[in-house]
Amino acid sequence: MGVAELFPAERQEAKPVDRITIRRPDDWHIHLRDGAMLKAVLPYTAAQFARGIIMPNLVPPVTTVAAAQAYRERILAALPAGMDFTPLMTCYLRDDTDPDEIERGFRDKVWVAAKLYPAGATTNSHAGVTDLNGIAPVLERMERIGMPLLIHGEATDPEIDIFDREAAFMEGSLIPLLGRHQGLKVTVEHATTAEILDVVREHRSRCAATITPHHLVINRTHIFQGGLRPHLYCLPVAKRERHRLALRKAATSGEACFYLGTDTAPHVRGAKEASCGCAGVFCGPSALQTYVQVFDEEGALDKFEAFASLNGARFHGLEPNPGTVTLERRPGRVAEAVSVDDTAVVVFRGEETLPWSVA
């Protein structure tokens, strides 16, 4: 049973539009991994997006200018001939991150932002930040030079319920951080609750949120629908239905503080279907088809270009991409899985016939 079968189609336009052309979009949150995995998944992102912010949580993490330059070269080397994609690199913050290294990488345009993982929050985050106050010199430097901070906003105290960890981080860390660093540009990545959306709105002049395709179409019940569905498990985990509806409203609202970030996060099948499975949804091949379906169902196709192609570029001080992408109301399927060496990565909604296709 696919996601589309679990929920009936939501509000449709009175006069359906069958074709939409938008500026080439960007993905402001991508996990590409490295090695064979990078080569396998990169073409799917490059086929849909012109640029993407690359997550730095490799092993070891990307913590230096030299490491970011080397990773960028590996990405470009893995790009198939004839494909056009620009990786936008980020720095993985640690307790011992050097503010001078941060400024040098930003000044030399090696990286466009720094990524804050609370230590232990998600995949390969154990080398992350243990105390926000301890990296105040880094945040002050970023504030001064205009470098954005990208936040995985979840508390890591094991006593906090997994469904409450975004809320706990918001109250205990994010709101105080915004108060202490009032000139710092902040993106709350993969927002999952109505409350975090309201915080972003309150600070919209310097705060934004990315919204994933999967959080727009699944709630926490889907993860257990008919049995455990490990390929729908991600962090932050999907929340209650009221939060899913709030995310749909925000994404399709036209508000400039919300924009596209897939958080596409590949793991091989065996790492997902395990006694302790990895968190991550691989949605690169089906991202645009899912987003445009949501905007169609919400009667907001006229706002899709801003969400996908304009808002993120504006927040990061970049020009929109030249060229266009066309999507059309034509049933189609994406690969059910992508081969990686002798195994595979399962694709989000790969078992479904999707109502929209990339032309």
Q: 335 among the known binding-site residues?
A: no
The stretch 62-70 carries a mean pLDDT of 98
Tell me if 235 is assigned to a ligand binding site: yes
State the average pLDDT over residues 90-112: 98
3-state secondary structure of 118: strand
Answer whether 144's CB lies under 8 Å from 99's CB. Answer: no
How would you classify the pairing of strands 186-188 and 149-151? parallel
What pLDDT, on a 0 to 100 scale, did the predictor assign at position 124?
87
Mean predicted confidence (pLDDT) in 312-319 = 98
* 206-240 pLDDT tens trace: 999 999 999 999 999 999 999 999 999 999 999 99
- Strand segments, DSSP code E, in 204-351 are 207-211, 258-260, 324-328, 337-340, 343-346
Q: Establish whether the linkage from the previous residue to 43 is cis, with ω within 30° of 0.
A: no
- Which positions are annotated as active-site residues? 263
Which position has the token pair 């960007």?
26
The tally of domains found in the chain comes to 1
Q: Indicate the pLDDT class of residue 11, thresholds 50, 70 and 90.
A: low
Range of the domain at 232: 3-358
Q: What percent of the chain has pLDDT over 70?
A: 96
Which residues on adjacent β-strands are paired with residue 27? 52
Output the pTM of the full model: 0.94
Pairing label, strands 337-340, 343-346 = antiparallel
Asked if 205 and 184 touch (Cβ cutoff 8 Å), the reply is no
Q: Is 126 assigned a ligand-binding role in the annotation?
A: no
* pLDDT value of position 63: 98
Arithmetic mean of pLDDT over the chain? 95
Which tens digits make up the pLDDT trace of 231-267?
999 999 999 999 999 999 999 999 999 999 999 999 9
Asked if the model's pLDDT at residue 76 lies above 80, the reply is yes
* CATH code, domain carrying 178: 3.20.20.140
State yes or no: 133 annotated in a binding site. Answer: no
Residue 16's pLDDT is 80
Mean pLDDT of 94-111: 98
Candidates 165, 222, 225, 160; CA nearest to 190 is 165
Residue 32 is assigned to a ligand binding site = yes
For residue 13, what pLDDT is reported?
A: 46
